């Protein structure tokens, strides 16, 4: 019955993820949240398990030692927030918990055993629901995070075992961990740290691998009612009937886990207009003597900045554009002291978005200003403008998991701010092609 209840809860949680995604998608229009992202994956890890007792006589039980266990599972995750910094990750895990008491000295045992070892190894069917907080940018190769959440487990298998010395000979006794020898349910709190490494499996498919280290803090007593009233088949005080235990026994442990995940296509608001497509003429280099692109290209001579047309030309020739930066000076325009993109920039941004969609690379939008005004104002303007450009590009079909933004105010001028022309060039939005 408890397994049916857990399966029903699991289906409800995973089903709710679709609803949450739809709700986040609905909120996009109201709060301008860029997108949410869903991924699925699997995990496997090793645990150092131990038992925490509220009442344990150290003179009889001198050593409370850890044992090794395993944890394997599957999960689904949804990320949300302005920069996808928050995540919710329902998991289904099979986890082996327990511990052991060694060099136990008790001359009162009717079986005559002394210096024996009592060990527990119980497999739990876990439902974990951690909440994750990410640091860094969503398009970064490495994404560190912290997380915490409850872990509800149901004992499904395992054993309790006593091994001792009886007149120079080993004597052992073991029973199954189910039934009267362990509490049927266990609640814990898990919190830890982790990092993901994002990479491309194919040109159009992304994946990530990660490593986590967590502490699993047992909250509830794992003694069964039979152990409490003396009807258990075996416990740490006596491997036989009619001996009741006192206090509580909680299973805790440290866990190192490896993860592998596949992000699914994110949800975000989409413009009703069709995605712009590059025509053949767009693939050819533009050579107009007096236009803004030519002026910008000359200003960027000797730097890692390129015009969009130069990037398109490199792609058409099969050259790598990884690590290069598209610097837009006269192509992306805003009103004075505003982050509202002017309509005369839409055609350029549509062309840029189409190029990024075809490129299928991770990119970072960077906002810069000249040195006119205070540092605080310049940082705010560069932040808001970079974010506005990022959101516009996502509206045109750029994958939310492959784009992020940063801002620098006037701290990274491309040329000197001593002239009007120099300040014009430094007021720019860049798109760096990461990978």
> What mean pLDDT comes out for the span 416-430?
87
CA distance 431 to 422: 20
Tracing tokens 């109201």 back to the chain, one arrives at 30
Tracing tokens 């699914």 back to the chain, one arrives at 264
Asked whether residue 301 carries a pLDDT value surpassing 90, the answer given is: no
CA distance 256 to 104: 30
CA distance 32 to 35: 9
pLDDT, tens digit (0-9, with 9 covering 90-100), for 8-21: 444 444 444 444 33
Percent above pLDDT 90 for the chain: 31
Greater confidence, 135 or 269?
135
- What does the pLDDT read at residue 176? 76
Asked whether residue 35 carries a pLDDT value surpassing 70, the answer given is: no
Closest alpha carbon to 395 in 28, 39, 30, 23: 28
Sequence-separated (6 or more) residues with CB below 8 Å from residue 100: 51, 64, 65, 67, 117, 118, 119, 120
Name the helix (H) or strand (E) containing 357: helix 346-359
Q: Where are the beta strands (DSSP E) in 23-168?
A: 37-53, 63-65, 67-80, 86-88, 91-104, 114-128, 131-134, 142-166
CA distance 155 to 97: 10
pTM value > 0.75:
no
- What does the pLDDT read at residue 273? 37
Asked whether residue 293 carries a pLDDT value surpassing 50, the answer given is: no
pLDDT, tens digit (0-9, with 9 covering 90-100), for 139-150: 777 899 999 999
Q: What is the CA radius of gyration of the chain?
A: 30
The chain-wide mean pLDDT, for the chain, equals: 78
Asked whether residue 24 carries a pLDDT value surpassing 80, the answer given is: no
CA distance 418 to 421: 9
> What mean pLDDT comes out for the span 39-53?
96
Asked whether residue 6 carries a pLDDT value surpassing 50, the answer given is: no
């Amino acid at each position: 019955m408890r397994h049916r209840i857990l399966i029903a809860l699991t289906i409800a949680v995973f089903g709710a993820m679709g609803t949450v995604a739809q709700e986040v998608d609905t909120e996009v229009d109201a709060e301008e949240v860029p997108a949410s992202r869903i991924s699925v994956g699997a995990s496997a890890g090793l645990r150092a398990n131990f038992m925490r007792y509220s009442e344990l006589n150290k003179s009889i039980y001198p050593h409370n030692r850890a044992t090794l266990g395993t944890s394997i599972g599957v999960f689904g995750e949804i990320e949300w927030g302005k920069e996808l910094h928050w995540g919710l990750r329902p998991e289904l895990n099979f986890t082996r918990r327990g511990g052991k008491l060694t060099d136990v000295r008790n001359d009162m045992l009717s079986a005559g055993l002394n210096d024996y070892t009592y060990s527990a190894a119980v497999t739990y069917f876990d439902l974990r629901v951690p909440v994750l907080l990410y640091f860094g940018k969503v398009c970064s190769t490495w994404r560190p995070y912290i997380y915490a959440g409850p872990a509800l487990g149901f004992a499904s298998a395992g054993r309790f075992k006593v091994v001792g010395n009886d007149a120079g000979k080993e004597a052992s006794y073991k029973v199954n961990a189910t039934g009267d020898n362990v509490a049927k349910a266990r609640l814990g709190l898990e919190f830890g740290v982790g990092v993901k490494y994002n990479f491309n499996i194919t040109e159009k498919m992304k994946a990530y691998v990660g490593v986590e280290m967590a502490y699993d803090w047992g909250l509830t007593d794992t003694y069964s009612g039979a152990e409490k009233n003396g009807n258990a088949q075996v416990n740490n005080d006596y491997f036989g009937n009619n001996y009741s235990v006192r206090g509580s026994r909680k299973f805790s442990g440290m866990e190192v886990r490896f993860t592998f995940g596949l992000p699914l296509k994110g949800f975000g608001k989409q413009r009703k207009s069709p995605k712009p497509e590059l025509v053949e003429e767009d693939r050819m280099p533009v050579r107009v003597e007096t236009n803004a692109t030519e002026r910008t290209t000359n200003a960027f001579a000797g730097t890692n900045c390129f015009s969009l047309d130069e990037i398109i030309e490199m792609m058409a020739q099969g050259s790598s554009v990884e690590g290069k930066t598209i610097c837009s000076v006269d192509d992306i325009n805003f009103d004075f002291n505003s982050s509202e993109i002017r309509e005369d920039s839409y055609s350029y941004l549509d062309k840029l978005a189409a190029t990024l969609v075809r490129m299928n690379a991770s990119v970072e939008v960077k906002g810069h200003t000249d040195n006119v005004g205070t540092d605080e104002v310049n940082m705010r303007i560069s932040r808001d403008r970079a974010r506005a450009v990022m959101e516009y590009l996502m509206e045109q079909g750029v994958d939310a998991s492959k784009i992020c933004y940063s801002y620098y105010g006037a701290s990274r001028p491309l040329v000197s701010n001593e002239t009007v022309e120099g300040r014009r060039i430094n007021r720019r939005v860049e798109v760096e092609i990461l990978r």
